[in-house]
Amino acid sequence: MLDDDGLLRRGEHWVAFTEVQVPVLRLLLDNLDRVVRFQTILETYAEAGGTSNEVSVRTVLSRLDARLRPLGLELETVRRRGVLLRNVRA
């Protein structure tokens, strides 16, 4: 569950995210196990006050992935399509 303070909680564990990361994370969570187009992620991040630079957004996604993994979630790049958030914890 992602709360209004940017905390993603799973069981007893939680991870904090920045204000500009939260809309991207919410987008990915709303589309769990579905591919989200990179362009949609880019636009969401830019609208939240982040950059529209593709390289920077890929770095943000990499950082999100590192923060999500301890919660049993991971981001996978689907070449030429987008990004998939998946639950790796049963």
Nearest to 28 by CA among 2, 52, 10: 2
Range of the domain at 53: 7-87
d(CA 20, CA 31): 18
Looking at residue 82, its pLDDT comes to 96
d(CA 88, CA 74): 7
Looking at residue 4, its pLDDT comes to 87
pTM, two decimals, is 0.92
Whichever domain contains 45, its CATH number is: 1.10.10.10
Evaluate whether residue 24 is within a structural domain: yes
Looking at residue 90, its pLDDT comes to 55
Number of domains in the chain: 1
Between strands 35-37 and 82-87, the pairing is antiparallel
Burial of 24 (0-12, 13-18, 19+ CB in 10 A): buried
Tens of pLDDT, residue by residue, the chain (90 residues): 899 889 999 988 999 999 999 999 999 999 999 999 999 999 999 999 999 999 999 999 999 999 999 999 999 999 999 999 999 975
